[in-house]
Structure 1
């Protein structure tokens, strides 16, 4: 993978010292809507999920973006059951609340009706707002011999993803649509994240999908990537040669996705469990390339395709010289067997917080462990990574302590934590700690909300509360 350095010259390690007694605050702000707090279960889940909440600052206002909807009964094809035993949650309205950044007084609320029933993200640029929504193919659901069976339909012309463009007054200007047959999509965003990033007039969508059935009848899962020209609102969906499903940056299966721009170069991160079974960084390219340049930065033990991988990815950032990935991870030294349901032989979920530092120049990756939880009945959650600028970052995680572990019949583990605290530490671009690991006893993290840095603090929302840490 050829990588161009942004800064040429001697590498200097910064020695900025951050306060070891940073001021912390918690304020009840709003209702929780679809938000979910970070838990032991979410921190060991094999796949990511669609982010249903986000936060951004614009013109000194704090904007919180949520989604509302409701459950509907799913009809059963061959039998009349009322009520139906199956329920489906349908996203219906995006709710954007504006707050005074200093007083947290709510100043305005805007409602946007969704065109499609799966809300997948909101993104703000200097000039526009964008929403992403989607829909899956229809299913025929029936009950045979007491068992529920499902069969996907495959409508090639079905609009599975829609990106809407709004002005700063939330007036709809234009939209882009992606059809099912453009990249063999049965269900968009499935078993993955929805990452959005932009540069100039390109909005990049990096997510996941399940695909049309294979010859054996299996709906395989893989990443899905599209670039939207925000001027024309045309979507570029690249396919690898004659393939009707594989893209040049193909990762199958891809259980989490991140995207960011390094100057004008789009960089992607995928959590792959099969091809490759690794964390992989890819340089996104335009055109009809058969394969993008990519490097595996963390090879995952186990048989290709085994759902369990022993790690989750929580953050990805780019510094002058490195790519930085924040994960939680088991100790792989024991030779475990990885299956779809369990890591056989693992008795305790004692995951450490690890930063992977990948050099742009050499493509080599250094692992920097920020914790050592082995033998302590402690679980480090899926971490957050916050860019503080000047090649410094904050790593945040929930520390679940005095854990009890229940081994289920399928060898999976249920983790019950007696207590938890939010932990955070500042690091430089090489993973070196610039402060002690600090504790925010009343702090919580959202599974969905990415904390953001202002001039002097890190802020985020989780559940009903607004949190901040001065630095």
Structure 2
């Protein structure tokens, strides 16, 4: 265990200094405090605090802009933006950057249907948490006079409608606190009747005349709203200085993450073990003990089935010649690579930590924001971040899926037009949802979630299907349900399925269609814009749409019960691609998930018996309507006109039979 009885000889940041949060930026503000200028050596210790409030106490209107920026602060600040998913399909945002706290509930059309306000009970807001049965808010106030009986932190419990119930009280003498929530974020989490507030504080003056900053971990029994742990100067999980805090429960054990610049100088994990904590340095930070500039920022902490995972970023520390409380000498542009620190639950030692780079930015023409981490399941998580150019102008949103060991399971995805914010995203109805408040305008953003557990279940069910030759007509309903579930997956999810598995399902669908249409000769199905795969059509029926201006994107064709030795081949001309290679007997021709139109098609019969039949096909083309019938490999549609196909019909006739209609102009070429 680490020796926690360490005194830090570090002094306050600058002359008469406080913090104002504006989005994620930090600006200096002067107060009337009189500081000992001879002792100004470091960023967050002070010999006197007689003036106005620190960053914890400033009432700002952060909800006017909570969008992330390309700026990386030395220490994090209180979070003021929260999102709640309600059971009735509504969602609530809690914005606490000014007094009173504003609570707005939105319906599914993103219209405000309820508005509440809650006044601060003290001058500082510390954290909000939406628990299973209750909501909690932490308030605080300064205690510069070091009054042991003064209440410095109050954790208030509310019902789910934000009606006040009761509170837990922490006094100055219990926690040795003069400034609660100082130079820290502060987060709450619950498990059963245990609620933890993991935050920061400035402590009582010590014998060296300084007020040292460190973490403060408060555990409350919510059945009594009483504090159950020791809150003194040095807790068993002591971190000095602690700039950012995360908390989770792993079973009954509390697991804490801190960003420390002194003792320890690392991103550190502390796991509760009875009355003690086991400590692991997930990412050791070079430089002088207590130098506030560390070159790292934490963005998320989650627990998978077997691992503890922290999302963070870091500079290239080999470029830095000296770390101070004000700069990293030699760094230049503050660009940081995005990485995960992964620690096995059964390997709590520094040597077992894996550091997995998610995206490199150092030396590039981009800047990546502090990443966010969201847990989807015990073995699936998503990492998100915002990208900026070197001028700090916001660009695309990036995200990637990782497994429970932190390994990427997809390529990095790009979303244009979305903006991350201080708000932690939530999973709502298979969507990753968050909101951003930009210039007092609320925008909700979402990303469809790829459910790997569902994908695995689908794959296992498809693999378990009989071979096409062994299928029976009563297998139809199972196959139709599988096809429906696969079609409902987003494109990223579909790309995770082996093409051989998809082909087996397609073959099964074709076989069932054949069994269900024993009297039919030709069946076909089209993939239509905004609709997906339509049901199978047959013998001249229309597949597609008419009068809806929807493009065909792909097609499947099969023939049966015509002759023993006969098949069908087809080839589509696709927007931006041209003529694709031939497909046959129920395989997909065209594209899916790329929003590309079919512009023309060729179809022909194959096999020894194909010479006994003609295959006719007619297409409905944009701006032209139904063209004339083509046959036996002729082109049907348009070329060079950028016109979408909207519908098709196909018939197989005996060789020499009367055509189903005019064959004069099946194809129009510019």
TM-score range, shorter chain: 0.7 to 0.9
Query: Which structure has the larger Rg over C-alpha atoms?
Result: 2
Counterpart Cα distance in 2 of 1:249 and 1:278: 14
Paired residues of 1:183 and 1:246 also in contact (CA < 8 A):
no
Counterpart for residue 194 of structure 1: 186
1:425 aligned to which of 400, 403, 407: 400
* 1:268 and 2:256 aligned: yes
Q: Structure 2 matches for 1:62-81, cutoff 5 A?
A: 62-67=91-96, 69=98
Paired residues of 1:118 and 1:134 also in contact (CA < 8 A):
yes
Counterpart for residue 219 of structure 2: 227
2:409 aligned to which of 434, 441, 461: 434
Counterpart Cα distance in 2 of 1:165 and 1:34: 27
Counterpart for residue 103 of structure 2: 96
Counterpart for residue 443 of structure 1: 418
Counterpart Cα distance in 1 of 2:330 and 2:97: 41
* 1:211 and 2:203 aligned: yes
The normalised TM-score by structure 2 is 0.55
Counterpart Cα distance in 2 of 1:113 and 1:454: 29
* 1:46 and 2:74 aligned: yes
Partner-residue secondary structure (3-state), 2:277: coil
The C-alpha deviation readout for 1:333-373, integer Å capped at 9, x for no partner, is: 33531110011111121211111111112231111111122
The Cα shift of 1:285 comes to 5.1
Partner-residue secondary structure (3-state), 1:175: strand
The Cα shift of 1:191 comes to 0.6
Paired residues of 1:49 and 1:193 also in contact (CA < 8 A):
yes
The C-alpha deviation readout for 1:263-301, integer Å capped at 9, x for no partner, is: 221110011111011111111356xx4x52111111111
The Cα shift of 1:433 comes to 1.4
Counterpart for residue 57 of structure 1: 85
Counterpart for residue 468 of structure 1: 446
The Cα shift of 1:192 comes to 0.6
Counterpart for residue 459 of structure 1: 433
- Relative to its length, the structure with more helix (as a share) is 2
Counterpart Cα distance in 1 of 2:241 and 2:335: 25
Paired residues of 1:129 and 1:170 also in contact (CA < 8 A):
yes
Partner-residue secondary structure (3-state), 1:259: strand
* 1:321 and 2:349 aligned: no
Counterpart Cα distance in 2 of 1:340 and 1:328: 19
Q: Structure 2 matches for 1:359-398, cutoff 5 A?
A: 359-363=344-348, 364-398=352-386
Which is bigger in relative contact order (C-alpha 8 A, separation at least 6)? 1
The Cα shift of 1:154 comes to 2.0
Counterpart Cα distance in 2 of 1:136 and 1:50: 15
* 1:305 and 2:290 aligned: yes
Counterpart for residue 26 of structure 1: none
Change (3 A) 1:237 1:362: closer
1:345 aligned to which of 320, 330, 337: 330
Counterpart Cα distance in 2 of 1:247 and 1:62: 37
The Cα shift of 1:120 comes to 1.8
The Cα shift of 1:106 comes to 1.9
The Cα shift of 1:210 comes to 0.7
Counterpart for residue 315 of structure 2: 330
Change (3 A) 1:371 1:173: same
Paired residues of 1:55 and 1:62 also in contact (CA < 8 A):
yes
* 1:254 and 2:242 aligned: yes
Aligned length: 382
**Which moved further from structure 2: 416-425 or 257-266?**
416-425
* 1:164 and 2:120 aligned: no
- Relative to its length, the structure with more strand (as a share) is 1
The normalised TM-score by structure 1 is 0.78
1:121 aligned to which of 121, 127, 136: 127
The C-alpha deviation readout for 1:307-348, integer Å capped at 9, x for no partner, is: 011110000000011001000111123353111001111112
Paired residues of 1:192 and 1:208 also in contact (CA < 8 A):
yes
Structure 1 unaligned blocks of 5 or more: 2-30, 70-91, 138-151, 404-415
The Cα shift of 1:418 comes to 4.3
Counterpart for residue 269 of structure 2: 281
Change (3 A) 1:446 1:120: same
Partner-residue secondary structure (3-state), 1:396: strand
Q: What is the RMSD of the two structures over their aligned residues, measured on CA atoms?
A: 1.8
Counterpart Cα distance in 2 of 1:65 and 1:205: 18
Partner-residue secondary structure (3-state), 2:410: coil
The Cα shift of 1:168 comes to 2.7
Counterpart Cα distance in 1 of 2:290 and 2:395: 33
Change (3 A) 1:436 1:276: same
Counterpart Cα distance in 2 of 1:168 and 1:314: 28
**Which moved further from structure 2: 353-362 or 119-128?**
119-128
Counterpart Cα distance in 1 of 2:336 and 2:146: 40
Paired residues of 1:35 and 1:53 also in contact (CA < 8 A):
no
Counterpart Cα distance in 2 of 1:220 and 1:255: 13
Paired residues of 2:320 and 2:331 also in contact (CA < 8 A):
no
Paired residues of 1:425 and 1:438 also in contact (CA < 8 A):
yes
The Cα shift of 1:419 comes to 4.7
Partner-residue secondary structure (3-state), 2:242: strand
Partner-residue secondary structure (3-state), 1:247: coil
Counterpart Cα distance in 2 of 1:317 and 1:165: 25
Counterpart Cα distance in 2 of 1:281 and 1:380: 24
Structure 2 unaligned blocks of 5 or more: 2-60, 450-670
The Cα shift of 1:170 comes to 2.5
The Cα shift of 1:34 comes to 5.4
Counterpart Cα distance in 1 of 2:279 and 2:254: 12
Paired residues of 2:66 and 2:81 also in contact (CA < 8 A):
no
Partner-residue secondary structure (3-state), 2:359: coil
